[in-house]
């Protein structure tokens, strides 16, 4: 129909990567649960294993989708002392992976060997429901699962079962299906699941940059000029 489309790529890469790391740390170190213990009087005397979680040092991190955001996440996690990075996707990305010494592996191997799994891939017919019962059954019982891509990449019923039966240790989600997630959703009843309201790009600077770029796309389109960021169909 001759409708031109402007969009805002790259703008939210850093903000989403930062949020992914924050969510991973919140989940693996049980921060929301620990904060609740402070508020409800659960914090009493010191106990050896109370509020213990999982650390990144000497761990293996598996990244599903080593695109711009996946690379930005790996770049931020590397200084935590991660021992090994694995990644999977539609194809190997040797030039991008070289920075982290990341190894391209199958989805199965990534699930089996990773202590932390971070999903940052695009939602496509190939990735829809990819993280399902079969995937979670291959993960370690001590593993941490984080999704900041799209909710539909994960089968949420299967994730719930995996968390309830301790097939995996903990999950952190910034994206769900649907959004907003109903307040009576079973995942919200679990202590070992941290869910955020899709705030990956929610920094003042990022949202301002997005707005300015969207406005400039619109103005260029109205003038019949090339947009700063135009989706060429």
Architecture per CATH, 10-31+52-200: 3-Layer(aba) Sandwich (3.40)
What secondary structure letter does DSSP report for 34? H
Quote the pTM value: 0.95
Kindly report the average pLDDT of the chain as a whole number: 97
Alpha helices in the chain (DSSP H): 13-28, 31-40, 68-77, 94-97, 107-113, 133-138, 156-164, 204-223
pLDDT at 184: 98
SS3 170: strand
Domain limits, the chain: 10-31+52-200
Peptide bond into 180 cis (omega under 30): yes
pLDDT at 58: 98
Q: What is the percent of the chain with per-residue pLDDT over 90, rounded to a whole number?
A: 98
pLDDT at 233: 82
Longest Cα–Cα distance of the chain, Å, equals 69
* ∠ CA 89-136-198, rounded to 5°: 70
Interval 59-90: pLDDT, tens = 999 999 999 999 999 999 999 999 999 999 99
Q: How far apart are CA 116 and CA 143, in angstroms?
A: 6
What residues are annotated to the active site? 198
pLDDT average, residue stretch 184-200: 98
Interval 33-64: pLDDT, tens = 999 999 999 999 999 999 999 999 999 999 99
Q: Which residue has the higher pLDDT, 183 or 232?
A: 183
What secondary structure letter does DSSP report for 225? P
Cβ–Cβ contacts within 10 Å for residue 31, how many? 16
Confidence of residue 119 (pLDDT cuts 50, 70, 90): very high
* 131 in Cβ contact with 103 (< 8 Å): no
* 64 in Cβ contact with 87 (< 8 Å): yes
pLDDT at 46: 95
Q: Of 42, 18, 58, whose CA–CA distance to 191 is shortest?
A: 42
Q: Are strands 144-147 and 193-195 parallel, antiparallel or unpaired?
A: unpaired
Confidence of residue 216 (pLDDT cuts 50, 70, 90): very high
């Amino acid at each position: 129909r001759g409708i031109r489309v402007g969009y805002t790529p790259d703008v939210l890469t850093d903000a989403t990567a930062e949020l992914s790391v924050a969510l991973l740390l919140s989940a693996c170190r049980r921060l929301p649960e620990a904060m609740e213990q402070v508020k409800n009087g659960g914090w009493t005397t010191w106990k050896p294993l109370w509020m213990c979680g999982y650390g990144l040092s000497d761990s293996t991190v598996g990244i599903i989708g080593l695109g711009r955001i996946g690379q930005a996440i790996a770049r931020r996690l590397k200084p935590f002392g991660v021992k090994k990075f694995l990644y999977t996707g539609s194809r190997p990305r040797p030039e991008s992976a070289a920075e982290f010494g990341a190894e391209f592996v199958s989805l199965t191997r990534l699930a089996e060997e990773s202590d932390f799994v971070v999903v940052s891939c695009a939602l496509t017919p190939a990735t829809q429901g990819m993280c399902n019962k079969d995937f979670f059954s291959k993960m370690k019982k001590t593993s941490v699962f984080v999704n900041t891509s799209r909710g539909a990449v994960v089968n949420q019923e299967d994730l719930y079962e995996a968390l309830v039966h301790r097939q995996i240790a903990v999950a952190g989600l910034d994206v769900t299906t649907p959004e907003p997630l109903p307040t009576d959703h079973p995942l919200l009843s679990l202590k070992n699941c941290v869910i955020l309201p899709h705030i990956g790009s929610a920094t003042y600077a990022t949202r301002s940059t997005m707005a300015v770029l969207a406005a400039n796309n619109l103005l260029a389109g109205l003038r019949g000029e090339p947009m700063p960021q135009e989706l060429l169909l």
